[in-house]
């Protein structure tokens, strides 16, 4: 009994310690921003690795999600004779929820795990310690560019996801199922609000980009420098990111849309 209690206590203390180290890392990441401004090429390199390389998976998924939404939506809406509102349904689901959330989950799987593995391996092969010995701060030089690349890429990726999804929905709804094209767009425009829907979606994806990249970098930086440690950290990145994204999505939605 007391042993269980002690184990619980130890786990709690360790999580709090980890949380503390995570926030310390975040502070250091942000402190590197000034340095980063002097070396924009570092950021560009990472925008490529984090952002550009995620475009394919995000846009292809966005296309299919939009098409499925349109197909499902059509069957339900047509029962009520409300096919004209198909555009609203597709666009609202994409812009408010699926765009930011699904692209963040894809991002965590594609870019986040790669970041963790990269940083973890750099730690395991003493590259980070080597930088420190060259009087170069590895957090500022290696981690900060990756962090801001993730933070900036996420909203762009989510916007691509939503835009492609809306077009995919148009293709299925108007092209294949025969919904009126004019109604698809006009209903959408009449009911989707720039501030309430689109800005809020962008804010969400900024938050998700921040959190996912932070988790990925922290897991890599904090991992045990062994092959097992790196592989565990990579798994943790994906799991923690998914929990964080879905949990935060609920909180943000409640704050933004509920009143």
**Site residues (vs another protein, CB under 8 A):** 41, 44-45, 47-48, 51-52, 55, 80-82, 84-85, 91, 95, 122, 125-127, 129-137, 153, 155-157, 159-160, 162-164, 166, 185, 188-194, 197-198, 202
- Least Å from the CB of residue 243 to another protein: 26
Residue number, 1 or 38, with CB nearest to another protein? 38
DSSP secondary structure letters along the chain = -HHHHHHHHHHHHHHHHHHHHHHHHHHHHHHTHHHHHH-HHHHHHHIIIIIIHHHHHHHHHHHHHHHHHHHHHHHHHHHTT-GGGHHHHHHHIIIIIIHHHHHHHHHIIIIIHHHHHHHHHHHHTTHHHHHHHTT--HIIIIIHHHHHHHHHHHHHHHHHHHHHHHHHHHIIIIIIS---HHHHHHHHHHH--IIIIIIHHHHHHHHHHHHHHHHHHHHHHHS-SSHHHHHHHHHHHHHHHHHHHHHHHHHHHHHHH--
Residue number, 197 or 249, with CB nearest to another protein? 197
- Least Å from the CB of residue 210 to another protein: 17
Residue number, 52 or 60, with CB nearest to another protein? 52
- Least Å from the CB of residue 107 to another protein: 13
Residue number, 124 or 177, with CB nearest to another protein? 124
């Amino acid at each position: 009994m007391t042993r269980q209690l002690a184990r619980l206590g130890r786990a709690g203390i360790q999580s709090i310690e980890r949380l503390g180290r995570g926030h310390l890392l975040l502070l250091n990441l942000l402190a590197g921003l000034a340095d980063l401004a002097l070396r924009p090429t570092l950021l560009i390199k990472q925008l490529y690795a984090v952002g550009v390389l995620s475009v394919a998976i995000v846009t292809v998924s966005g296309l299919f999600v939009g098409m499925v939404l349109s197909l499902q939506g059509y069957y339900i809406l047509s029962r009520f004779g409300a096919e004209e509102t198909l555009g609203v349904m597709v666009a609202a689901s994409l812009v408010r929820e699926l765009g930011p959330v699904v692209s963040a989950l894809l991002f965590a799987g594609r870019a986040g795990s790669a970041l963790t593995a990269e940083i973890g391996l750099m730690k395991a092969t003493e590259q980070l310690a080597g930088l420190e010995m060259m009087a170069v701060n590895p957090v500022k030089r290696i981690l900060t560019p990756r962090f801001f690349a993730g933070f900036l890429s996420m909203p762009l990726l989510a916007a691509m996801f939503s835009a492609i999804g809306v077009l995919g929905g148009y293709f299925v709804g108007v092209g294949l199922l025969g919904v009126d094209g004019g109604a698809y767009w006009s209903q959408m425009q009449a009911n989707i609000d720039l501030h309430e829907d689109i800005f809020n979606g962008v804010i969400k994806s900024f938050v998700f980009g921040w959190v996912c990249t932070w988790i990925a970098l922290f897991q890599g930086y904090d991992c045990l420098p062994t092959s097992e440690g790196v592989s565990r950290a990579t798994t943790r990145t994906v799991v923690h990111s998914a929990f964080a994204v879905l949990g935060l999505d609920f909180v943000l939605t409640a704050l933004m849309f509920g009143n």
